[in-house]
Amino acid sequence: MLVDDLHYLRSREYRDGHSIIEDIIMRNYCIYCCCIVVLLLFAMSCRERCNDDAQCFYDRGMVIETVHPDSAVYYYRKALECADVRSNPQLVISIHWQLGDLLRTHHLYNRALEEHQKALQLSYERPETECLPRSLREVGKDFLYKELPDSALAYIMQALKCAEDVADTNEIVAAHNNLSVAYSVTDSIYKAIEHAYHAIVMSSDSATIYRNYSAIGRMYLAENIYDSAYYYSLKGSHSANIYTQANCYRQLCEVTRCIGDTSGYAIYSALLEQADDAISQMNRTEAMGETEYRYELERVLTHEKERYQMWVAMVVLVIVVVILFYYRYKRRKERCWQQQMEGLRHTIEQRAGRLEEEVAEAERVIEQVGREREKLYALIDKKGNVCALSFMRSKAYKTIKSWIDHSDGVLLASRQSATAEYVHKAFEEYEVALREHTSLTADEVLLCCLIKCRFTTKECAICKGVSENAVRTQKSRIKSKLAQSPQ
């Protein structure tokens, strides 16, 4: 009969374990689904917000790149980190263009070429070709600055052909401008002038037209054709751009000096000096905004820090939810285990009462009760092993081992009490079971817990603050008390 009851309890344990898991899954199914949906929506919103942040970084970089180029480079790099090339390739290509132009302006030609080549690769990957002319032209300009005019001509000619295919007038004008410069470098002055004329005819931008006038004047000056150089330099000096004016005045000074026009030389020298002073004053004025832009940069960094903290908070929230469900599952398992223990103890008490009434079956019942006690002690031992395994993985166990390894044979009183507290906390249920079902004292129960943690006799003596002989004597007493158990 007792064996049948044990089989019933085991089958009940199996069914209860599975019913607990199924109950947790069914009850929290909606919560899991909601968490997954929230996380997906959060990821999608972060992706869209990343593109918005990239556009914001890009716009800020364009605003300050003439005043604070180092800060502008930072903004462009952050924009590239935030931008999603699959959802917004045009933005990524534009950022590479702008960053490459800024690096090239500050004579970092190799890094500028890397950025423009990335833009060119992305332009080739797109089915649309509106970005391809500028990407080719920018790479060609980089080779031109690296004093590789042949490679520059090859890329810029491809850019001109692509721009004509898509009928992009601005890119056609820009390609003619770059070809003019490239041919002037290779001493093909008349081809350079021809492309400059094409740019003037096709352009509707006055700044571009006057800049080409200045370039044509410079090329005629290099060929010692002073009348044409004077004419085009004079036309270019009417530009509203102070830099174009300064270049034209410099060329006019050179022309008047070469032809011996001293009065003209004096006039243009004075105008050149005024233009240079205006440029210097403008540069000093632009440098005054350093403090404001430093604050703006710090504000952006603070915003990034807040985003990082939000991500950390989300991760912590997910971890807390997982721990909460695990804690609920563990509590239910412990409750089930306690019910099993109570059931076994109740069965043993019933069989012990029947022994007084069933004298004829006394030995058989005693044998059965012994098996029940074995099961009880096996469960207690199993619980002790579980507690020991969990405790040996904890930080407290490593701390105790470190105290023992660095001790000179005895622990401080504070560390002894701390060790006992750690062990009591980890083996609370095991100790309760031992005190309820054995006659062991609290000190003997503590030694059992230490032995479960695989501490040697010497280590147990260090933890308890006694000699090794005292530990051996206490072990003998424990064995004598548990002589009837499988321990």
The torsion defined by the Cα of 11, 14, 15 and 20, in degrees rounded to 10, comes to 150
CA atoms within 13 A on the CB side of 268: 22
Which of these ranges, 121-135, 299-313, 472-486, has the smallest mean pLDDT?
472-486
Looking at residue 163, its pLDDT comes to: 87
* Tens digit of each residue's pLDDT (9 = 90 or more) over 168-214: 888 888 888 888 888 888 878 888 888 887 888 887 777 778 888 88
Tally of residues, the chain: 487
- What confidence score (pLDDT) does residue 138 get? 92
- pLDDT value for 370: 72
As a whole number of angstroms, the distance between CA 180 and CA 153 comes to 10
Containing H/E element for 313? helix 290-357
Is residue 179 within 8 A of residue 156, CB to CB? The reply is yes
Least confident of 16-25, 263-272, 478-487: 16-25
> Which residues have C-beta within 8 Å of that of residue 267, sequence separation ≥ 6?
none
Percent of the chain whose pLDDT exceeds 70: 84
pLDDT of residue 33: 53
Q: Evaluate whether 388 touches 451 at the Cβ level (below 8 Å).
A: no
The C-alpha atoms of residue 373 and residue 384 are separated, in whole angstroms, by 16
For 415-432, the pLDDT digits (tens) are 888 888 888 888 888 888
Q: Give pTM, 2 decimals.
A: 0.48
Higher pLDDT, 12 or 396: 396
Nearest to 22 by CA among 329, 340, 337: 329
**237-260 confidence digits (pLDDT tens):** 888 888 888 888 888 898 888 888
List the structure tokens of 142.
């980089």
457 or 302, which is more confident: 457
* 167 dihedral zone (left: phi>0; alpha: psi -120 to 50; beta): left
pLDDT band at residue 277, thresholds of 50, 70 and 90? confident
Rg (CA), the chain: 43
Q: Where in the chain is the domain with CATH 1.25.40.10?
A: 40-306
- Pick 317 or 14 by higher pLDDT: 317
Ranked by mean pLDDT, the top range of 84-93, 315-324, 403-412 is 315-324
CATH superfamily label, 40-306: Tetratricopeptide repeat domain (1.25.40.10)
Identify the CA nearest to 457 among candidates 437, 438, 478: 478
What span, in angstroms and rounded, lies between the C-alpha atoms of 168 and 65?
Answer: 26
Residue 232 and residue 213 in contact, taking contact as beta carbons nearer than 8 Å: yes
Q: Residue 116: what pLDDT?
A: 92
Nearest to 475 by CA among 454, 438, 444, 437: 444
pLDDT at 50: 56
What share of the chain in percent tops pLDDT 90?
5
